[in-house]
């Protein structure tokens, strides 16, 4: 009779895609070995979780035991559940106080994390609230009049609520920071330290990240009590992500992208640009080619960003063009291709970008469009990450990034936007969503954002350096092909959606 509760669960279809050692190299523990409460186990199994990943196996028992933790693990290996599960285990639903504060750097990640809390804790009776900048402060104040057990938020808004004495953190025993390296950067560190003054002196801290710069070590010495350090970074890049570069001049990039669309079997793709202007411009160009595409960047209204993120997660559109806003933590299982239309300048940014594919040990593809000015950044990032980014072949083996059974790709957790239903009729849709499949390219951007007819970043060949192959070979580090001919510019642009 004791085991019958498992038979009653609504367990989703098993994800049969192959996985890498990043998540399979465990000690063989099960979630039941952690002696979690029954209600939490029910939520874990109904979310499709089968066995803990290495970071979950290491962190969950230590966190439940009350230790401060500094955990470092790769993108996409289950860090969110590694702190959400012990949080839900420790929260007491009958105590109407904020008992856990989870801090994240971006609004999209706050939405996603709160949804993981709700999904895993749906049988636990735990109330979770998400609070971020860009939303109505009055709504948050009203919501905090009701019981809230877990508060997930971005630093500025949480500090605002705590300073106004609206969010009472005085009896909050658990403090969690996801993407700790970003949270302790110059942008946020002073705000985080102010928030800590509202927490009880003796509280438990859990810090998770893929990279730990010096600032994290300084914070650990100052604020953590005998922290247990977990480091599962035997190498920096995920084993399941195949990385290629295509050497193209700036004016050839769009042709190259169009060729990739026609040759690759894309389930969902994220394309990264280095500036918000280029995000909007590229989204318009992709739309002009006849492909459906959304875009997202930090200058958009929060309501629009939320909706784009929601619709992309639900698979309503195949391609998302964005800035580095979405590099951290965003977990969309269906994304199997990441394209760096603009190559990043740092290894850290590169690592987080390509980590949007190959989630939870599955296979993914990262393609980098490289021009003359990027060649040394490419070499530097390879050296720092200890990885090889190979020249793109004429044909890419589909087994490197395509699931044999596409129906095995899980649908993401349903994302509930704060204070709204997902498609409330009184909400303003982003300009890009007025035509879901983009049959009206001119409506992609609001009038003030319409680009000029000839934009130098895409259509000014005279500013590009022209060089013979041997010059490139001499200027580039040894071992790299001089040209990238595997993805030639297309003379004829296909209008067929891929």
CATH number at residue 139: 3.40.50.300
Q: Is the pLDDT of residue 432 over 70?
A: no
Q: What per-residue confidence (pLDDT) applies to 118?
A: 92
| 194 and 289 in a common domain | no
431 within some domain:
no
Reading the block at residue 488, the tokens are: 């030639």
464 within some domain:
no
| 170 and 278 in a common domain | no
374 within some domain:
yes
For residue 303, the SS3 value is helix
For residue 263, the SS3 value is helix
pLDDT tens-digit readout, 298-310: 888 878 888 888 8
Q: Which of 400, 426, 460 is the last residue of a domain?
A: 400
424 within some domain:
no
pLDDT tens-digit readout, 326-358: 666 566 777 889 999 999 998 888 988 887 776
Which residue's entry shows tokens 């309501």? Answer: 303
Q: Tell me how many degrees the CA angle 345-349-353 measures, rounded to the nearest 5.
A: 120
Strand segments, DSSP code E, in 384-444 are: 390-391
| Confidence grade of residue 184 (pLDDT, cut at 50, 70, 90) | confident
* Pure H helices in 316-451: 347-354, 375-385
236 within some domain:
no
| 259 and 391 in a common domain | yes
pLDDT above 70 as % of the chain:
72
**pLDDT higher for 226 or 10?**
226
Q: Which of 239, 243, 203, 208 is nearest to 224 (CA)?
A: 203
| Confidence grade of residue 236 (pLDDT, cut at 50, 70, 90) | low
388 within some domain:
yes
* Pure H helices in 314-460: 347-354, 375-385, 456-459
94 within some domain:
yes
Q: Is 206 left (phi over 0), alpha (psi -120 to 50) or beta?
A: beta
What domain count does the chain have? 2
Stated pTM of the model: 0.67
Reading the block at residue 380, the tokens are: 């530097």
Query: Backbone phi, then psi, for 56, in 5-degree steps?
Result: -70, -40
| Confidence grade of residue 283 (pLDDT, cut at 50, 70, 90) | very high
Q: Is the pLDDT of residue 51 over 70?
A: yes
| 51 and 24 in a common domain | yes
| Confidence grade of residue 460 (pLDDT, cut at 50, 70, 90) | very low
323 within some domain:
yes
Q: Is the pLDDT of residue 418 over 70?
A: no
Tell me the residue range of the domain where 218 lies. Answer: 5-231
């Amino acid at each position: 009779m004791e085991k019958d509760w498992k038979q009653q669960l609504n367990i989703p279809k098993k994800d049969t895609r192959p996985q890498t050692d990043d998540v399979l190299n465990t000690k063989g523990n099960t979630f039941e070995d952690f002696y979690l409460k029954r209600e939490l186990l029910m939520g874990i199994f109904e979310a499709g979780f089968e066995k803990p990943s290495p970071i979950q196996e290491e962190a969950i028992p230590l966190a439940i035991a009350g230790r401060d933790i500094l955990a470092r693990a790769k993108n996409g290996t289950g860090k969110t559940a590694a702190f959400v599960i012990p949080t839900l285990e420790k929260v007491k639903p009958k105590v109407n106080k904020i008992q856990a504060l989870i801090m994240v750097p971006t609004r999209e990640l706050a939405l996603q994390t709160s949804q993981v809390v709700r999904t895993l804790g749906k049988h636990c009776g735990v109330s979770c609230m998400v609070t971020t900048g860009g939303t109505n402060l009055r709504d948050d104040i009203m919501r905090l009049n009701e019981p809230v057990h877990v508060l997930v938020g971005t630093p500025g808004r949480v500090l605002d609520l705590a300073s106004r004495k609206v969010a009472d953190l005085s009896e909050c025993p658990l403090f969690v920071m996801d993407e700790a390296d970003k949270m302790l950067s110059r942008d946020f560190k002073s705000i985080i330290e102010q928030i800590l003054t509202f927490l009880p002196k003796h509280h438990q801290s859990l810090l998770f990240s893929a990279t730990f710069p010096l600032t994290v070590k300084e914070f650990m010495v100052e604020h953590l009590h005998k922290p247990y350090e977990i480091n599962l970074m035997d190498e920096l890049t995920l084993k399941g992500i195949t990385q290629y570069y295509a050497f193209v001049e700036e004016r050839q990039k769009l042709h190259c992208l169009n060729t990739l669309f026609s040759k690759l079997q894309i389930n969902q793709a994220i394309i990264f640009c280095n500036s918000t202007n280029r995000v909007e411009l590229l989204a318009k160009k992709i739309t002009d080619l006849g492909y459906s595409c959304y875009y997202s960047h930090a200058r958009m209204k929060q309501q629009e960003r939320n909706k784009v993120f929601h619709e992309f997660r639900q698979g309503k559109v195949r391609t998302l063009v964005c800035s580095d806003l979405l590099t951290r933590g965003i977990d969309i299982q269906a994304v199997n291709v990441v394209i760096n239309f603009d190559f990043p300048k740092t290894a850290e940014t590169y690592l987080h970008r390509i980590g949007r594919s190959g989630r939870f040990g599955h296979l993914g593809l990262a393609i980098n469009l490289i021009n003359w000015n990027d060649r040394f950044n490419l070499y530097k990032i390879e050296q720092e990450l200890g990885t090889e980014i190979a020249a793109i072949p004429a044909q890419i083996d589909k087994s490197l990034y395509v699931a044999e059974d596409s129906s095995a790709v899980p649908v993401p957790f349903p994302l509930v936007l704060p204070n709204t239903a997902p498609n409330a009729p009184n909400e303003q849709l982003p300009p890009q969503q007025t035509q879901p499949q983009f049959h009206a390219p001119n409506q992609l951007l609001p009038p003030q954002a319409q680009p000029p007819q000839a934009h130098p970043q895409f259509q000014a060949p005279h500013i590009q350096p022209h060089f013979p192959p041997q010059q490139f070979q001499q200027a580039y580090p040894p071992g790299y092909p001089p040209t990238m001919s595997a993805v030639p510019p297309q003379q004829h642009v296909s209008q067929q959606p891929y």
